[in-house]
Every structure is written in C-alpha cells, then in structure tokens.
Amino acid sequence: MQLMTAEILCYLVALKNMKRWVKMIRLIGGLCLVTLLGIAYVSYLCHNSLCLAPERSNLSPRYSVISSSSSSRSEILSSPTSMVKLIGGFPSKVNIESVAFEDAYDMGFDITSRDVIVFLHIQKTGGTTFGRHLVRDLNLENPCNCPRKRKRCDCFRPNTVNEQWLFSRYSTGWKCGLHADWTELTDCVEGALDEYEGSSRKRRYFFITVLRDPIHRYLSEFRHVQRGATWKSARHWCGGQEFTSLPHCYKGSNWTGVELDEFMNCSYNLAHNRQTRMLADLTLAGCYTGYNTTADQLERDRILLQSAKQNLASMAYFGLTEEQATSQYIFERTFHLDFANPFDQANATLSAQAIAELTPAQIERVRQLNSLDNELLEFARHLLQERFKMLKRRDPHFRRNWFRVIHPHKSERTTETH
C-alpha cells in the first residue's frame, strides 16, 4: 500500500513538472513567433523605405573599405561609410585601408612608405589633364620618370625599382579596367599592385577624383561618342563578377554621327548620371542587374546617390573642373605637395558650344537625365568650400600659397609695390 502511494505521488510530481515544461515551451514558442513576425514586419518596411541612414550619420562601417577617419570631425568633413544593402544586392569582399580627407591632411602623404594615391578617372571631367599634372608637375625629390614617346611614367617610390606610389592611367595604366569606377577600384587595386610589384602587402590608399558640371560633362561625352569613342573595353566588374552582357545603344562598331536626341533616348546609356554611378558602391543596388529599368528605379537612384555622396566625402581629395584654383590649393595643402605648373581654367569648351546649339527642351532633357549628378555636384560644391575654408584657417602662409596658385609667374612682393 505504501509502495502504491509512493508511485502515485511520483506520478503526480512528474505530471506537475510536465505541465510546467509545456507552459515554458509554449511561452518560448510564443516569443519566437512574435520575434519572427517582428523581423518580417521590419523587413517589409525596409524594402519599401530602403532603411537608409541619414547622409551624414556616423554608424558602424558597411563597406569593407576600412576608413582611418576620426569619428570626432565635423559633420560636413566626416567620412560616413554606412549604407544598408538593397535587397538583391551583391556581396562586397573588399578589405583595404582608405585614408579620408582630414586624416590625409593631418598625417600627410608618405611617398617612402606604403601610401598610394588612387585616381578614379571619370570620363570627360578634365581627368586627362589632371592625370598629367600628377605624373609631370609635382615637385618631388624623386619625380616620376616619363620617357619620351611613351604615355605612361614610372612613379616609383624613392630607392625602389617597382613600388608605385600612384595608381592612375599615366603611371600603372588601366590595371583595373578602362575608367574603373569606385566599385571596381576598391575591389581590384590591392591585387593589381601585388601582381605588379611581385609581393603581397597592405597599403594605405588615398582615393582622389575630379567632378564636373553634369550638363557640360554629358554633352562633352556626347560629342566624344559622336566622333567614334565607345569605351568598349570597360570591364564593369561588380560583386565578384564581370557584367559582359550590358546592351549597347548602337549597332556596329561605334555610334559615330549619333544625334543628341538619339543619344538621350537610349535608356541604358551609361552616360546618364555617370558620375553618380562611378562613385557609388554598385553592390548596394544589385550591380548592373536590371540597370536603368523602371522596376525599383527610384529606390535604386536613391541608394546610388547616397552612396556616391558618402564615398566622395570619404575620399582623401576631389576637385571640380569649374574650380581649378581652389582644387589645386586643396590638393597641395592636403598632400603637402606643390605643383610646378598651375591648373588652367578653361572657360570656352566644346560642351559650351554644344549648349548654345540646343533648344530649351533639349537642355531640360539633359538636366533630367543627369538629375542625380546635379544633386551630387551641389553636395560636392558645398563640401569643396568647407574644405577650402578649413585649410585656409589652418594655413599660416595662406596669402603666399594662394597667390602662387592664382599668379604662378608673379611674385607677391612685385605686385604689392605697384
């Protein structure tokens, strides 16, 4: 009898414990269900709002590019690197150290160590002239060696025979593809230099570029294409793969003789908003998948524009074609290097002539096709002026340095005596 009573008690205790476990399991299951529903709801909101962080927020880095910038700098001079990837995007596996503007100014550019200037050359922005300045006009103890009848120069570090301090068209050539963009360069540059130099090592990269008024740049590209340019050999590398099936706007070998209306009407013409596309992290928007289609175009444009602004702000330097003197001064004070010859400000260009020949409707159409570039340029102008003001405040010899930029063949003393 006692044995039976003990068995009954054990059974009742076990039953009670089982009920507790069932309640706990139900509670845990309920919490999991609520969590899953919450994730699904947030995912739905993010898909529709893109979950974009503010343009100048200072969040943890999204890019694999490591920025050496300080988190304490002012809003406009900061190096924001946060971005949420658009659904359907591609993974970025870049892992390089990129030096931002203020850090470049504070630390300087060490040509004898592991620092490399990387020039992101956007078509028809004046990059060819600027690129020549880099290899021919910098006042260096060991200037680039530019043999006659050869386009490229050898810009080797002092006391080395193959270590390049400049990655550009006129030094290394198009190692990462013809007119490689930000996505291509950040993914390629370190491997390309390792292969060129025959050894693997970490470097500090100082990314630089030049921007131009979008209407002038677009019309200049149109004229260039009209004369036969194609840039067919551009790689369009993104997300670990090359997009070789991008459609052409023309049949045959080139688009020689194209009229402006036909040029504008090609929806997949890469000339549209070219500066924004070339400065953005394209992996955020699915690379070239569905490029310039109507599906999710507003979302894609918004992401690319914000990414382009962030990447521009995180670069060590950028200049504006329309602001040559200011651009030269900023470069010289940022890198603590001087140019022997000044940047020329060209006032009359082929693009200006082309604008004079357009109807108001055509000008408005060009403006619409480059609306992202227009907004990017306004951001760039403001940022350029902020950098100029900051450098001016910190420059104890501003008057002398500025005068040398705007009047390179005159002495300040001579001017003051007359």
What is the pLDDT, as a whole number, of residue 86? 46
Across the 418 residues of the chain, what is the mean pLDDT of every consecutive 10-residue run? 55 60 68 59 39 33 50 38 45 80 95 97 97 97 94 96 97 97 98 96 97 96 96 93 92 96 96 98 91 77 97 98 97 97 74 83 98 98 98 98 90 46
For the stretch 330-333, contacts whose Cβ atoms lie closer than 8 Å and that sit 24 or more positions apart, written own/partner, are 330/384, 330/387, 330/388, 330/391, 331/208, 332/401, 332/405, 333/105, 333/391, 333/394, 333/395, 333/401
What is the pLDDT, as a whole number, of residue 73? 37
Q: Which residues are catalytic?
A: 179
What is the pLDDT, as a whole number, of residue 58? 32
pTM: 0.79
What does 101-162 look like in DSSP terms, one character per residue? Answer: HHHHHHH---TTTTEEEEEE--TTSSHHHHHHHHHHTB--SS--B--TT-S--B-BPTT-SS
What is the pLDDT, as a whole number, of residue 95? 83
How many other CB atoms are found less than 10 A from the CB of residue 376? 23
Residue written as tokens 């450098």? 391
Radius of gyration of the chain (CA): 28
Which residues are within 8 A (CB) of 152 and not within 5 positions of it... i.e. 6 or more apart? 169, 170, 171, 172, 173
What is the pLDDT, as a whole number, of residue 290? 72
What is the pLDDT, as a whole number, of residue 245? 86
What is the pLDDT, as a whole number, of residue 345? 78
What confidence tens digit (pLDDT) does each residue in 20-57 have?
666 666 767 666 665 655 555 444 433 333 333 333 33
In CATH, the number for domain 101-406 is 3.40.50
What is the pLDDT, as a whole number, of residue 355? 86
Q: Is 73 exposed, middle or buried (0-12, 13-18, 19+ CB in 10 A)?
A: middle
What confidence tens digit (pLDDT) does each residue in 49-62 have?
333 333 333 322 33
What is the pLDDT, as a whole number, of residue 350? 61
